[in-house]
Amino acid sequence: MDGVDQRTQLAGHNRLELLLFRLEGQQLYGINVFKVREAVPCPALTKLPNAHPVICGISNVRGKTVSIYDLSKGIGGRAVKEPQQCFVIITEYNRSVQGFLIRSVDRIVNTSWSEIMPPPAASGKKHYVTAITEIDNQLIEIIDVEKVLAEVVGINDTVSQSIVEQFTSLNHNKQFHILVADDSSVARNQIRRTMEQLGIKVTIVNDGLKALRQLQAWAAEGLDVTQHIDLLISDIEMPEMDGYTLTTEIRKDPAIKDVRILLHTSMSGAFNNALVEKVGADKFIPKFSPDDLALTVQELLTSWHGRS
Question: Could you tell me if 94 and 146 are in contact, meaning their C-beta atoms sit under 8 angstroms apart?
Answer: yes
Q: Are residues 85 and 174 in the same domain?
A: no
Q: Are residues 148 and 9 in the same domain?
A: yes
Res 92 pLDDT > 50: yes
Nearest to 174 by CA among 296, 283, 304: 304
Question: Could you tell me if 175 and 201 are in contact, meaning their C-beta atoms sit under 8 angstroms apart?
Answer: yes
Q: Are residues 124 and 211 in the same domain?
A: no
Res 247 pLDDT > 50: yes
Q: Are residues 236 and 184 in the same domain?
A: yes
Domain ranges, residue 198: 161-307
Final residue belonging to a domain, choices 127, 153, 179: 153
**Given CA atoms 200, 201, 206, 211 in this order, what sign does their dihedral have?**
negative
Position 15 scores a pLDDT of 81
Q: Are residues 148 and 167 in the same domain?
A: no
Position 257 scores a pLDDT of 96
Question: Could you tell me if 295 and 283 are in contact, meaning their C-beta atoms sit under 8 angstroms apart?
Answer: no
3-class SS string, the chain: CHHHHHHHHHHCCCEEEEEEEECCCCCEEEEEHHHEEEEEECCCCECCCCCCCCEEEEEEECCEEEEEEEHHHHCCCCCCCCHHHCEEEEEEECCEEEEEEECEEEEEEEEEHHHCECCCHHHCCCCCEEEEEEECCEEEEEECHHHHHHHHHCCCCCCCHHHHHHHHHHCCCCCCEEEEECCCHHHHHHHHHHHHHCCCEEEEECCHHHHHHHHHHHHHCCCCHHHHCCEEEECCCCCCCCHHHHHHHHHHCCCCCCCCEEEEECCCCHHHHHHHHHHCCCEEEECCCHHHHHHHHHHHHHHHHHHC
List the single range of 11-15, 25-29, 183-187, 201-205 with lowest mean pLDDT. 11-15
Final residue belonging to a domain, choices 100, 123, 153: 153
CATH number at residue 214: 3.40.50.2300
The answer, as to whether pTM is greater than 0.85, is no
Q: Are residues 45 and 90 in the same domain?
A: yes
Q: Are residues 77 and 204 in the same domain?
A: no
Q: Are residues 174 and 143 in the same domain?
A: no
CATH number at residue 13: 2.40.50.180
Res 267 pLDDT > 70: no
Q: Are residues 240 and 290 in the same domain?
A: yes
Cβ neighbors of 266 (< 8 A, separation 6 or more) are 35, 93, 94, 145, 146, 187, 237, 286, 287, 288
Res 156 pLDDT > 50: yes
Q: What is the pLDDT of residues 173-229, one digit of tens each?
A: 789 999 999 988 888 999 999 999 999 999 999 999 999 999 999 999 999 999 999
Q: What is the pLDDT of residues 96-128, one digit of tens each?
A: 899 999 999 999 999 998 899 988 876 666 788
Res 11 pLDDT > 70: no
Task: Report the number of distinct structural domains present in the chain.
Answer: 2
